[in-house]
Structure 1
Amino acid sequence: ALDIKDIPWAGKQLWAPDAAYKNGKYYLYFPVKDKQDVFHIGVAVSDQPTGPFKAQPQPIKGSFSIDPAVFTDTDGSTYMYFGGIWGGQLQRWSAGKYEANGSKTDLNQDDKPALSVKVAKLTGNMLEFAETPKDGVIVDKNGKPLLGGDHDRRFFEGSWMHKFNGKYYLTYSTGDTHFLAYAIGNSPYGPFTYQGTFLKPVQGWTTHHSIIEFNGKWYLFYHDTQLSNKNHLRNVKVTELQHNADGSIKLIDPFIE
């Protein structure tokens, strides 16, 4: 669909894309390091879902880090959620510009608010941010932001957004603790109140995922390493995702059929 050599500004590490359909076109969003080893997010366009996709000549202005996820709301507005700490470099943008010698992990401030997923509305042509990215803050039941040291609950990478019964469900990976967690808000920008985990740890390090509705049912797509037993050789899995009557998500055990 798209080769790194066909992205004019790309250096290395093209991975973790998302795709969207709008205006009769297909849009492929991807993170990749530029030639200075800094992650940005690009977009490529095609008339077909299988491509070939033609990349825009420059990354999306104002983009950084990894793991783009694109969500179109019921009013037609489209948003991108993105970001990832550690190798995703989100922590190196905390001062508003890239710090090449910044932390390799997080802010190293366990008693301070954790880094947030970023969210920005896209322009009508799906090629640019319509605004400066904002923090999608995750808070506890008392409205306090989750702390950097709260590794079981704080955002790490791999965000996704879906809407259910008028509520906005931000789902994400906790990274080094291997949970898929979710938080619910009344706006696509948040704040999002932490609710719990909905997928127990799988075999393998990461749990990047997507959630879609199809024929009246919701499905979770994710990956693990059961076929290869190698952390960087991952296979896709899918399972039904169920919302309980109170809006919570039923916990999924990946090792129970």
Structure 2
Amino acid sequence: MTLLQVKQLTKRFGGLVAVDKVDFHVEAGEIVGLIGPNGAGKTTLFNVIAGAFGPEEGEVLFEGRSIAGLDSARICQRGLARTFQIPQVFSSMTVRDTIVTGSLLHHRAVADAQVAAEAIARRVGLGARLDVPTPSLTTAEKKRIEVARALATGPRMLLLDEVLAGLNASEVAGMLDLIRQLRDEGTTVLFVEHNMEAVMSVCDRIVVLDLGRKIADGAPLAVMADPGVIRAYLGDAPAAALETEAADA
């Protein structure tokens, strides 16, 4: 079943076309990576899907219904939640209270929201940190609380924005385990990431952008061997050299 479908999506800022007629889809149960060199349009595309920006052209369908132009709150209510690259922690709150802010979307009673928040904290590895003020958390824990707050809204799909940035190797491995666990529990994942090793290890498919356009979409090994992808990351001369080596091998 196709959960998310992006059709001919275009976003401009003045004369700059940041996203140029992009098409891609995400099937239910997939982990899909959205990658590309700096300035490729990844964050803009992510923000249009999440409702931070409206598109100039094209369509975004979630579970077959249009969400293009809806605000972030209404998109979240539909079952599509996001995290932020820089964790948006509430400095006056504890871990429990922060996750409760997401739980209140579906729980009218604060007590019920707290019970749900505690279960989610355990799910993401923060069960022992519920009463800790958020400014006291480590970078890795702040990344996890971003995921927890999004999960508290009960999403069917998560948009993860560079959840591995700033983490050491052990913390990256732990976050990848969490992403796999969430998928196994039924949450579909689309994430923007620069850590290619991590992307290759966890993604079912990869979508590649360059200069606002989609240049590749497919299985990780096939995409990373694509000459156009190599050229986008390394430039024409290194790409040509790699292609020559491949031909001589």
Q: Please give the range of the TM-score, normalised by the shorter of the 2 chains.
A: under 0.3
- TM-score calculated relative to the size of structure 1: 0.27
Which one has the bigger helix percentage?
Answer: 2
* Larger gyration radius, structure 1 or structure 2: 2
More strand by share: 1
Which of 1 and 2 has higher RCO (CA within 8 Å, sep 6+)? 2
Q: Tell me the TM-score normalised to structure 2 length.
A: 0.28
